[in-house]
């Protein structure tokens, strides 16, 4: 059946976006294939692995279990927002700590860290592990990811 398309207007990485989408289109598919922002990845479509993490109004969410139509009016931040000639401090921290191997989970962890830093709290390691537990990694065993995030959170502005 051809579905009625729904208009969505949102801001993605600071840019206004307007599209008509199928109701069943997920936010992650919309970002990746309608907008070409492929830095956010898909790992399960069940809301578990966290590859699809983006920031919605500054907070981390799993975009595989959000419909694109639900993002109407929202401000979405993807990994591409951090990209410039120089690495963003969070990106640099991951590189220096060898906090990635295949890179598939990396944008999700980086965005989650950025949101954490915005909250401005002093987070002890055990609690930090809990804050990051919504993104899975199969390559690194999390050891260097934790180091990278701790370094980034502790760095001066």
Partner 1 sequence: MKPAPFAYERAASADEAVAMLDRYQGDARLLAGGQSLVPLLNMRLMQPEAVIDVNRIPDLDGVREDNGHVRIGALARYSAIEWSPIVGARLPLLSEIVRYIGDRQVRTRGTIGGSLAHADPTGEMALAALALDATIVVQSPTGTREIAARDFFLGPYFTVLEPADMVVEVRFPHHTMVTAFAEHARRHGDFCVISVAALGEPDGDAGWKTVRLAVGGASHRPFVADEASAALSNTALEPDAVEAAGAACVEAAEPSDDIRASADYRAHLLPIYVRRVLDQMKARRSQGAT
Partner 2 sequence: MTDVVSIPETEIAPGQVGGRMERVEDERLVRGLGRYVDDLDPPRVVHVAFARCPYPHARIVSIDAGQARAIEGVLEVLLPDDVLGRTGPISILRPIPEAPRVMPYALPREIALYEGQPVVSVCATSRAIAEDAVAALDIDYEPLPHLSDVEKALADDAPILHPELGTNLLVQNPRGDGNPDAGFAESEVVVDDRFRINRVSGLPMETRAILASYVPGVRELEVVASTQAPHLFRKQLSDSLRFPEADIRVTTHDCGGAFGLKLGIFAEDVLVCLHAMDLGRPAKWVEDRMEFFRGATQARESLHVARMGASSDGTILAYTNHYYVDLGAHNSPMGSPMLSSLMFQGPYSFQHGYVERNVVLTNKVPVGAYRGYGQPEGCFVRELLLDRIARKLRIDPLEIRRRNFIRPDQMPWQTPGGAKYDSGDYQRCMEMAAETIGYEEARERQRALRDEGRYLGIGLACYVEMTGYPGSKFLGKHGAEYGAHEGVVVRANRSGGVDVYTGVPPIGQSTETAFTQVAATVIGLDAAKVRVIAGDTQGTPVNTGSFASRTLIAGSGAIERAGREIRDKALRVAAFMLDVPVDGLELADSVISSVDDPEISVSFADVAINAFYGHRLPEGELPGLEATAYYDPISSAFSYGTAAALVEVDPETGEFSLDRFLFVHDCGRQVNPMTVEGQLHGGIAQALGAALFEELVYDGDSGQLINGSMIDYFMPTTADLPKIELDHTEVLSPVTPMGIRGIGESGTIPPGAAVANALCDALAPFDVDINRLPLTAEYVWRLVAESRAHA
Residues interacting with partner 2, by CB under 8 A? 2, 22, 24, 32-33, 36, 38-46, 48-49, 51, 78-80, 82-83, 87, 91-92, 94-96, 98, 100-107, 110, 129-130, 132-146
* Minimum CB–partner distance for residue 86 and partner 1 (Å): 28
SS3 content of the chain, % helix, strand, coil (to 5): 40, 15, 45
Binding span for partner 1 by CB under 8 A among 9-17, 23-31, 78-86, 149-157: 23-31
CA quadruple 10, 80, 154, 42: dihedral sign? positive
**What per-residue string of b and e applies to 39-73 under the rule 16 or more CB within 10 Å gives b?**
bbbebeeeeebbbbbbbbeeebbbbbbbbbbbbee
Distances (CA, A) of 131 to 37, 96, 115: 25, 21, 11
64 binds partner 1 per the rule CB under 8 A = yes
| Choice between 74 and 87, CB closer to partner 2 | 87
| Choice between 37 and 71, CB closer to partner 1 | 71
Q: Which of residues 106-145 bind partner 1 (CB under 8 A)?
A: 112, 130-134
Residues in contact with partner 1, counted by CB under 8 A, come to a total of 30
């Amino acid at each position: 059946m051809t579905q009625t398309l729904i208009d969505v207007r949102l801001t993605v990485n600071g840019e206004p976006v307007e599209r008509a989408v199928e109701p069943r289109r997920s936010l992650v598919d919309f970002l990746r294939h309608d907008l070409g922002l492929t830095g956010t990845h898909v790992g399960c479509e069940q809301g578990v692995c966290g590859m699809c993490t983006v920031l919605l109004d500054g907070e981390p969410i799993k975009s595989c279990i959000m419909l694109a139509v639900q993002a109407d009016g929202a401000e979405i931040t993807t990994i591409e927002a951090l990209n410039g000639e120089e690495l963003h401090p969070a990106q640099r921290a991951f590189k220096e700590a060898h906090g990635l191997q295949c890179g598939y989970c990396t944008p999700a962890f980086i965005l989650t860290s950025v949101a954490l830093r915005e909250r401005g709290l002093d987070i002890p390691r055990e609690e930090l592990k809990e804050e990051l537990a919504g993104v899975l990694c199969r390559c690194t065993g999390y050891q260097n990811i934790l180091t990278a995030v701790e370094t980034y959170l502790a760095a001066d502005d």
